Every structure is written in structure tokens, then in C-alpha cells.
Structure 1
Amino acid sequence: MGLLTIGAFARASRLSPKALRLYDELGLLPPARVDPYSGYRLYDPAQLERARLVAWLRRLGMPLADIRAVCELEPEAAAREVRAYWARVEADTAARRDLAAFLVDHLSGKDTTMSSDHTTLRIHYAVLSDTGSVRESNDDAGYAGPRLLAVADGIGGGRRAGEAAIEALKPLDAGVPGGELLSALEEAAHRAHESVSALAASEPALRDVGTTLTAMVWSGSRLGLVHIGDSRAYLLRDGELFQITHDHTVVQSLVDEGRITREEAASHPQRALLLRAVGAGSAFEPDFALRDARAEDRYLLCSDGLTGVVPTEEIQRVLASEDDPGTAVRELVALAIRAGGPDNVTCVVAHVAEQAALTTA
């Protein structure tokens, strides 16, 4: 079979001539030959496979720059890239779904601070931080209050950056109306970023300071979550443990892209290298989420001093078996110490309970 005109190739590939001209300009799908007299683009039938792949990837919503990279890979590597892209899409969709549900409730005039049976939720909480067995000082910071839980792991300047970030969030512990939860949390996160940036500018020795930040704010039965870095938040619900944050690390990105396994990530030499943080010269791009809490839920916020050495199964066992948050944080920290305690470790545990709301005559 000879070369195909752009019209014939468009019909065979199910791409429009306009799209083919764009992909030619971008170097994504150049024609096999351009007639020197007429300027017509001519395509080799062998290019149909690449053209169809481009069409499928566009239907997935993949950006053109990413499609170009995928098309240059061997099939197995290309499959890993597509899998990693779709994992990111699903994570983003889940976050958008939670936000959409919140906005529907808010705009419909539903009371987001009280459930239909006139009960509201409260939390029992505890926080514990330890230097560990190796480090000389504790760079972690933690906070637990009736409406705010937070963990921060300082970078480059001791715990001052983490403390500054948490201090900027503390006004939220006074209470936030359900309809303002997300915006209040976002504003507080930016205040935290400004506080750490001001700290970095205050002394030459602190110019590279930064911190991770993982925090939750409660309003009735709804909670807002802000997360940046590699500290984590977990939810134990109905006996199952779920990690509800995503690590912003080089190693996690390699896992997401299918380049290494989770088992390989545990011993990777760059496992502590952050892609995002508050300060430290990193991009300030926190994740925000809204979640519905239930009675009997148990939440854990922790620094990587716990998750780096204590298996997930052990964390689940402690959260499920310890009914007192204070006992739970002590047991979790003890597990990290018994595992060698190579890093500072901070844990915040909160148990959700139902509380009858007050009524007025």
C-alpha cells in the first residue's frame, strides 16, 4: 500500500485533519512525506498504530506533552506510564468528588454541623513526640486540640519551621463553620507558608528551613484535611486501615509511575527526598480534601519516623486494639523506638465519638 493523503489517513485513524496538522506542528505525528509542490501531507499506513494510540490517549485526557513521551517508549514502559497517569486522575477525581458533595450540601442549605438525628461528633485525642534513639534533637512538632490535629516534620532548622506552621493553623481550633471549612483551611495553610518563609528570611542560617505539614480540622461531622510532604494521615474504619494522604516524595512518584515497587521504595536511597514542602525551596502545592467522619472512626497523623520503620499491620493492630488515644500514641512511639528509632517520631491519634447536641426551647 502506498502513502495515504491526510484525508484518507484521518479516516483510517479516526483523527480529524485539523488534529493531524496540530500533531505535525508539535512533532507528535509528523507525516512520512510532504509533497514539495502541493504541500500535501502524506502518511505511511505503518503510522496508523501510533495515530490510534494518540487518539486513545487523548480520549483519556492525557496532555499532549505526556502523549509524546509515552509514544517514544517501548510497550511495557508505555503501559506503566499510562497506569501512573490514570492513578493520578483517579486520585484527583476522588478529591473533586468530595468537594462536589460538600458544595452540593452547602448550596442546598443543609446543616453540615449536625446529623439528621440531632447528634454531632466529637473527638478524643492525644499527641506524643519523641527524639528517637539516634537523633540529638527533635525536629518534629505535633498538636492535638478539640478541632485541630497537626503533625509537622521540620527541615533544615530544627522544629522551628514545624512549630511556625502549626501555630498559623491554631486559630482553627476555635471552630470553623461547616460552610467555610475548606476556605478557612486553605487560608490557614497559606499563613503557614508565609510564617515559614518569614522564618527563613530572618537569619542566613535558616534560609533553607522548611517542614512537612499534615493537619485536620473538624466541624460537626465534616473534616478538612491539608497535606504536603511525607508525614501521613490514616483512617481506621470498620477494622480496615486506609492511608488518606499521598506522599510527596521522589520515591512515591517512582512507585506511581510503575518504575519501582513498594518493596523497593522501602530501601531506596532517595526515600526521604521531598518534591513538595512548606518552605525549603520546594513547591508549595498542598493537597486539600473534605471528608465525612463517622462515629467509631479512628485517625492517625504521624511523621515518617513511625511509618519508615513500623509495618502497616502493626499500626493497624494498635489503632484497632487500643481504646484510649493516649495509650495508642505511647504504643506507636514505643514500636518505632524498638525498631531502632532512627528518626524523630510524632503521633497524633483521634477517636471519633457521637455526642448528643444541645437543644434550646
Structure 2
Amino acid sequence: MEHLSIGEFARRSGLTPKALRLYDELDLLRPDHVDAFSGYRRYAPAQLDRARLVAQLRLIGMPLARIRGVAAAPAGVAADQVRAYWRQVEADTASRRDIVASVVQHLRTKETSMPTTGPTLTHRSASRLGQGARPAQQDALHAGRSLFVVADGFGPHGSPVPAGLAVDAFATLDESWAAADGDPAAALRTAFAKAQRALDAEAAALTDPRHFGTTATVALLVGSTLFSAHVGDSRLWLVRDGRADQLTRDHTVVTALIEEGRLTQDEARSHQDRSLLNRALVPAGTGGHSDDGPDLTATPVRPGDRIVLTGDGVHAVLEPGHLADLLTTPSAPDDVARQIADAVETAGAPDNYALVVVDLDA
């Protein structure tokens, strides 16, 4: 009988070798053959359907113990079990939605403008925008006086329009901010709404607007405070004291499951749907649209800090440890940006890539 090595089986099933070894230990997906001397696991091609089912069920957050029952059941019974699981997920979500509404209403009554504190910081910045192996460039960026943006667009025929619309909408905020200028967070919300209207207008002429949109990660420096607006899976990083911390949260299906402990980092890293967005800047009514706008944060910053924005053509290509080393390199912004771009190109640059590096000074 033909057998597949664990590496080939992992590639074809969307599971990692580490995940396959775990599923073997849990009696969820046993190899068809284990060599008595070497311990090498080998799988039959017929096991691919079960493996892919496991991968899909992990993506919806189903616990391993429950997956074991589904995988062992006849197809009709298994379908009923999956449907029952999802009914409960939706019921649980509805219950939490009521609690969220109550908490938000309570906090809104206490809402005030986000304060800015400290002296105005100066900065040095650099950026890189690369097409990679894609047939067209759909990423866009902005590195200005106080505003920095990375947008990763998607659309028909490699359209650069969605990312460009997002950058244009936010670019009007690129000015020297003072305390009298108003609430930066409110200004970011207004710019996001402007981008949304522009995207809606552009999509109105499309036959199929469902695959037309962009991520948008925006950083606005006001005094000694970094305000950010974010939707999608581009990222904003703060580098301080030799450590790189991600300030944004990826709006992907796998990220939520990792945070809830229902999917491991190793499972997520090689999952075929690891980049599946559940929020982005897309035409209203096409799914993934958020009427509440972007995630907003305000982070105190200080001289010596480095701010970096990356599209997923950077952080999805480079290993986390390698990227962290590059982000924390004690070099000028242009050198850091060049080294990161070179690393992406060396890794094959399978996607468009965009990055902005900003070093803060007194």
C-alpha cells in the first residue's frame, strides 16, 4: 500500500507534524503504519479526509474530545453532531452579546476624550513597499509627519484601489497635533468612516463586491501618546528595551481560537485558513463589516521607542523569532526597513509586503 511520510501528509492535510503527533497520542488520528525500528509515522492517502475534517473542526473551535466523536460517527450522525455543537456556540454568543451591550452602555456614560500627555516627540522614519511574487501591488502605506499607515488590500484583478482609499482617508490627519486640536481618537473614527463611505461608493459599480476591501493599521503620534486605529491582520509593534510587543490584535478566525485556548499556535501556523479574516474594511453588507469602526488604542511612548507597522506579507512570512530580532536591531530606521525587506525577499516574498519603521526622539 502507498504511504505518505508525516511531512507530506501534513502538507496535504493542512496539519503540522507536531499536531499529527498530538492527535496520534490522543487516539484521534493514528498513523496507518509506524516503523518498529525508526518510529517513523506513515499515513495512508485514505486518511486525508479524516485529517482535513479534524482541521476544519479545529478551525471552528471544537474541542478535541468532541472531534473524536464526530470523526468516528457515520456521516449523517456526524453532521448532526456538528450542527448541535454550533447551535450551542450561537446560543452562548447571544447570551454574551447582551452582557457586552450592558457593559458598553455603562462605559459610554463615562466616556471622555482620550488625553495626550508629555512633550511632543520627534521621529525618524523609513518604509518599504514590495510587490513580491504577486502579479500586482495591492498594499499601500503612508509615512508622514505624525501619521503612519499600512493597508493590505484585496480585490478583483489585483486592484490597488481599496488600500489606496484607506490611506487617502487617513492622510488628512497628517499634521502637527496640539492639545487644542480636539480628540485624536474621534478624528481616527471619523477618518475610518470616510474610508468606509469611499469603499462603499467604489464597490457600488462592482458585479461582485464581496472580495473587495483592505486591512488598515494606523498610528497617529500626538505629543507623547501614540493613537492607533486598526482593522484586519496588519500589525502595529512597539519596540522598547530590546523587546517587540504587538499592540494590535489580528482579526482572523484562528486568532480568536488561540486566545480562547481552542487552537494551539502550532496548529494555527500551518493551517490552510490561517489568514482568513473575520474583520476588515469592506463594503457594508458583504460580511466582516463592523459598524462600530476600528479597534482604537492610546499608548504612552517615550524617546528611544521604535514603532513598526507591518502588513501580513512581512509577519506571515518571517518566523516570529527572526522578525523580533530584526525589529529590535539597534540600527537606523532605513537600515532596519532594508534588513526586513531583504529577509522577506530571501524567504521568497510570496505576497505583497509593506512596512514602516519609526524611531522616536526627544
CA distance in 2, matches of 1:177, 1:201: 38
Contact 2:215 2:234 in 1 (8 A): yes
Q: Could you report, residue by residue, the CA deviation over 1:56-100 in whole angstroms, capped at 9, with x for unpaired residues?
A: xxxxxxxxxxxxxx9xx98xxxxxx9xxx9xxxxxxxxxxxxx99
Tell me how far 1:185 sits from its aligned partner. 1.0
User: What TM-score results when the alignment is normalised by the length of structure 1?
Assistant: 0.65
Tell me how far 1:177 sits from its aligned partner. 3.6
CA distance in 1, matches of 2:206, 2:351: 26
* Alignment correspondent of 1:163: 164
Matched pairs, number: 256
Contact 1:153 1:159 in 2 (8 A): no
CA distance in 1, matches of 2:200, 2:211: 9
* Alignment correspondent of 2:289: 283
Residue type of the alignment partner of 1:276: R
Contact 2:114 2:183 in 1 (8 A): no
* Alignment correspondent of 1:126: 126
- Structure 1 pair 262–338 and aligned structure 2 pair: CA distance change class (3 A): same
Contact 1:230 1:249 in 2 (8 A): yes
Superposed, 1:59-74 pairs within 5 Å as none
User: In angstroms, what is the RMSD of aligned CA positions?
Assistant: 3.1
CA distance in 2, matches of 1:201, 1:176: 35
* Alignment correspondent of 1:271: 274
Q: Which of 326, 333, 342 is 1:334 aligned to?
A: 342
Residue type of the alignment partner of 1:164: L
Tell me how far 1:322 sits from its aligned partner. 4.2
Contact 2:238 2:305 in 1 (8 A): yes
Contact 1:200 1:208 in 2 (8 A): no
- Structure 1 pair 101–215 and aligned structure 2 pair: CA distance change class (3 A): farther
Tell me how far 1:349 sits from its aligned partner. 0.6
* Alignment correspondent of 1:174: 175
Partner of 1:126, secondary structure, is strand
- Structure 1 pair 258–124 and aligned structure 2 pair: CA distance change class (3 A): same
Q: Which of 319, 322, 328 is 1:320 aligned to?
A: 328
Partner of 1:277, secondary structure, is coil
Point out where structure 2 has 5 or more consecutive residues left out of the alignment.
1-61, 67-88, 94-107
Tell me how far 1:326 sits from its aligned partner. 1.4
CA distance in 2, matches of 1:105, 1:309: 35
* Alignment correspondent of 1:201: 204
* Alignment correspondent of 1:135: 134
CA distance in 2, matches of 1:251, 1:320: 27
* Alignment correspondent of 2:19: none
CA distance in 2, matches of 1:122, 1:314: 28
CA distance in 2, matches of 1:275, 1:104: 29
Q: Which of 243, 246, 257 is 1:243 aligned to?
A: 246
User: What TM-score results when the alignment is normalised by the length of structure 2?
Assistant: 0.65
Partner of 1:349, secondary structure, is strand
Contact 1:164 1:195 in 2 (8 A): yes
Residue type of the alignment partner of 1:170: A
Q: Which of 238, 251, 255 is 1:252 aligned to?
A: 255
Contact 2:114 2:184 in 1 (8 A): no
CA distance in 2, matches of 1:308, 1:105: 32
Partner of 1:204, secondary structure, is coil
Residue type of the alignment partner of 1:325: P
- Structure 1 pair 335–102 and aligned structure 2 pair: CA distance change class (3 A): farther
Q: Which of 181, 186, 189 is 1:183 aligned to?
A: 186
Partner of 1:278, secondary structure, is coil
CA distance in 1, matches of 2:267, 2:160: 30
- Structure 1 pair 101–289 and aligned structure 2 pair: CA distance change class (3 A): farther
Residue type of the alignment partner of 1:151: V
Tell me how far 1:320 sits from its aligned partner. 2.2
* Alignment correspondent of 1:217: 220
